[in-house]
Chain A
Amino acid sequence: MDNPEAPINTVRMEHESDILIIGGGLNGPALALALADQGFCVKIIDALPANARASDDFDGRSYALALASQRLLAALGLWDHLCDNSQPILEVKVTDGRAGEGPAPFMLHMHHGEIEEGPLGYMLEDRFLYRALADAIAAHPAITLISGRTVTDQETDATGATITLDCGEQHCARLLAGCDGRRSGTAQRAGIRRQGHDYGQTALVCAIEHETPHNGIAHQFFMPSGPLAILPLPGRRTSIVWSTTTEEATRINALPDAGYLEVLKPRFGSFLGTIRLAGKRFTYPLDLTLAERYVVPRVALVGDAAHGVHPIAGQGLNLGLRDVAALAEVLTEARRRGEDFASLSVLERYQRWRRFDSTVLALGMDTVNMLFSNDNSLLRLGRDLGLGLVNALPALKRRFIREAAGLAGDLPRLMQGRPI
């Protein structure tokens, strides 16, 4: 019917897949599953070789999954495999501490009994979460994984996006989803600028084995040099996320294990008995990086690619999974009503939904961190009064708890335990 000579060069009728996901970390595979479950055909491009991420041994990395994130994993059919290896967080105690003195009496105590939904969250080791995601994407007929390839070029037109890999291969789809982290190449190639802030702080991350049981209690100590999170893992093991000035972190990280432990011990006292290291030690520089836009025509950014936050309270992964659930819902609804699901007007719904949420959270954590990483006695008095006040007012406290469990705000359906 058509005149093939007509000067319309925007036509690309066939796409090999609906969505190309750049990044094979955690958000990428989670997004692939959420979309493939809704009938989208998905391809993941991972820069790392196939076996680089899989590790059967505990390497010390773990996540504090908010309850909402756990529900998403359950909706994706992953929780049955993860449940036995997870540790429910039954209580969170937030305390203001000072180096050398150990923690002061706790100021805010959140107990899961104060909300009806269940535990506040779950601790889960990276190796189990990654393995569950990898197995599920390998088993899903609508997902293709290309490992060990980086994207060298990306182009968009009126109907889709085409990427070129380092091997010269080209792939096209209606939508490109950048799940490629805080230094997202997808964002860069799309011309999306970022705003950043370097805290001059670095997180030291490790896991310890200890003598006395943790009883599912998580602790957050706010120290003048930065917060210290003590998060219960299955068994008598605990994950430590310890933020301090980059200078000090570099010094501490250079110490041998014994010296490292000697610095760590006095910071949180002796309530877990004798401690020793379990797994490797990691350092992560803390910086905040927000993409100016989360979407441009045919491209959407997810997780750290859109908003890299630092790992206080494990919000990075939780925010990312919230993006995953929101984007999957927006795209699925758009396709159900016959819209071009990768059009800008559809993608903007995702951006409107998520940008407000994550900017507020990023700035909120920023403020919390700056407020607490400070030894000014006036600020200290103010924050102690503040935490004490929250603790004393049940309604306010329930809001805090629901916020910590990831249940606040406009929750995507997959995180409410409902189908899309």
Chain B
Amino acid sequence: MQTEENTTDPAELAKFEAMAAEWWDPDGKFKPLHMLNPCRLDYVTSQIADWFGRNLSDTGPLKGLRILDIGCGGGLLSEPVARLGATVTGADAAAGNIPVARIHARAQGLDIDYRHTTAEALAAAGEQYDVVLNMEVVEHVPDPQAFLDVCARLLGPGGLMICSTINRNPKSYLMAIIGAEHIMRWLPKGTHDWRKFITPDELFEKLQAAGLSPIDRKGFVFNPLAWSWSLSDRDLSVNYVTASVKPA
């Protein structure tokens, strides 16, 4: 499963190692993702454990589960679920991310199947998973409904999809675009287009239209005093996450 791109050219390898270091530097370019990551993982791992009846205090609690991480980037979600025992496929449409993620996972002693591919291509190949992680992707695709339809096809019967995105309202515009891109410079300007943001109700409708049953939704809330994110039952006003299942 290892392709040539990460073993042949030492100069290329050095470049990817530097990029991997960048992806995984908690104070670097991807700082906002690192800050959000514990909170995302709390949701992802507890939803998977609940739905599949696993106990996260056990060793290798996600053993035997096949998980697809769409838009895996440097592997910030793929690695943790792999560490918990899951069999993980990380897919990213950006070719450069794949060797980067591979190099880091390997240094961590983790076996993750990273592929330069798209959800559409995986679905066309008939791949199916127990869990699809669809985090912070929907707001970047041209046709969210078509994309979610494809993601639903990637789930096996009784499978679970975790999908997070950004709400659409004046506050989310202020926080996610003015705050994160212009004031804090957490994200490059133009990272998000406010018109592509989706309300939780709209997302639930789209998930249902894709043949899934939504079972949960929570907000990711940033607390500036603690300088960290936490999950909220009520406040879904900016970043939020949903869980939905495919009927068995």
Are A13 and B26 closer than 8 Å at their CB atoms?
Answer: no
Could you tell me which residues of chain B, from 87 to 108, have a CB within 8 Å of some CB in chain A? 103, 106-108
Min Cβ gap A37→B in Å is 11
* Inter-chain contacts of B26 with A (CB < 8 A): 343-345, 348
Q: Give the number of residues in B that approach A within 8 Å (Cβ atoms).
A: 32
Residue on B nearest A38 in the bound complex, by CB: B57
Residue A11 is within 8 A (CB to CB) of chain B in the complex: yes
Interface string of B105-144 (1 = CB under 8 A from A): 0111101000000000000000000000000000000000
Are B41 and A10 closer than 8 Å at their CB atoms?
Answer: no
Are A1 and B2 closer than 8 Å at their CB atoms?
Answer: yes
Interface pick from A92-100, A266-274, A331-339? A331-339
Residue A340 is within 8 A (CB to CB) of chain B in the complex: yes
Alpha-carbon separation in the docked complex, A298 to B188 (Å): 31
Interface string of A2-34 (1 = CB under 8 A from B): 110011101101000000000000000000000
Min Cβ gap A259→B in Å is 55
* Inter-chain contacts of B81 with A (CB < 8 A): 338
* Inter-chain contacts of A343 with B (CB < 8 A): 26
Alpha-carbon separation in the docked complex, A3 to B8 (Å): 10
Given A11-B109, A336-B56, A336-B57: A3 and B42 within 8 A (CB)? Answer: no
Are B107 and A345 closer than 8 Å at their CB atoms?
Answer: no
Are B42 and A337 closer than 8 Å at their CB atoms?
Answer: yes
Are A39 and B108 closer than 8 Å at their CB atoms?
Answer: no
Residue A159 is within 8 A (CB to CB) of chain B in the complex: yes
Residue B10 is within 8 A (CB to CB) of chain A in the complex: yes
Alpha-carbon separation in the docked complex, A352 to B111 (Å): 32
Alpha-carbon separation in the docked complex, A352 to B57 (Å): 25
Residue A158 is within 8 A (CB to CB) of chain B in the complex: yes
Are B59 and A39 closer than 8 Å at their CB atoms?
Answer: yes
Alpha-carbon separation in the docked complex, A343 to B107 (Å): 13
* Inter-chain contacts of B1 with A (CB < 8 A): 1
Could you tell me which residues of chain B, from 1 to 17, have a CB within 8 Å of some CB in chain A? 1-2, 6-7, 10, 13, 17
Residue on B nearest A345 in the bound complex, by CB: B26
* Inter-chain contacts of B106 with A (CB < 8 A): 2, 8, 11
Residue B34 is within 8 A (CB to CB) of chain A in the complex: yes
* Inter-chain contacts of B6 with A (CB < 8 A): 6
Are A340 and B108 closer than 8 Å at their CB atoms?
Answer: yes
Residue B83 is within 8 A (CB to CB) of chain A in the complex: yes
Alpha-carbon separation in the docked complex, A11 to B108 (Å): 7
Could you tell me which residues of chain A, from 339 to 375, have a CB within 8 Å of some CB in chain B? 339-340, 343-345, 348-349, 352
Are B109 and A159 closer than 8 Å at their CB atoms?
Answer: yes
Given A3-B2, A337-B41: A39 and B107 within 8 A (CB)? Answer: no
Residue B38 is within 8 A (CB to CB) of chain A in the complex: yes
Alpha-carbon separation in the docked complex, A84 to B56 (Å): 37
Given A3-B2, A6-B13, A345-B26: A338 and B59 within 8 A (CB)? Answer: no
Are A338 and B83 closer than 8 Å at their CB atoms?
Answer: yes
Min Cβ gap B15→A in Å is 13
Alpha-carbon separation in the docked complex, A339 to B34 (Å): 11
* Inter-chain contacts of A1 with B (CB < 8 A): 1-2, 111
Alpha-carbon separation in the docked complex, A170 to B56 (Å): 32
Min Cβ gap B200→A in Å is 24
Interface string of B39-50 (1 = CB under 8 A from A): 001100100000
Residue B53 is within 8 A (CB to CB) of chain A in the complex: no
Alpha-carbon separation in the docked complex, A312 to B221 (Å): 40
Residue B80 is within 8 A (CB to CB) of chain A in the complex: yes
Interface string of A56-87 (1 = CB under 8 A from B): 00000000000000000000000000000000
* Inter-chain contacts of B84 with A (CB < 8 A): 338
Give residues in B with beta carbon < 8 Å to A: 1-2, 6-7, 10, 13, 17, 26, 34, 37-38, 41-42, 45, 56-57, 59, 62, 79-84, 103, 106-109, 111, 227-228
Instruction: List 8 extra interface pairs beyond A11-B107, A336-B45, A339-B41, CB under 8 A.
Output: A2-B106, A3-B2, A38-B57, A337-B38, A337-B41, A338-B45, A339-B83, A345-B34
| 11 residue pairs bridging A and B, Cβ less than 8 Å apart | A8-B107, A13-B109, A38-B57, A39-B59, A159-B109, A337-B38, A337-B42, A337-B45, A339-B38, A345-B34, A349-B38
- Nearest 9 interchain pairs by C-beta: A338-B80, A345-B26, A337-B41, A13-B109, A338-B84, A338-B83, A10-B107, A336-B56, A3-B7
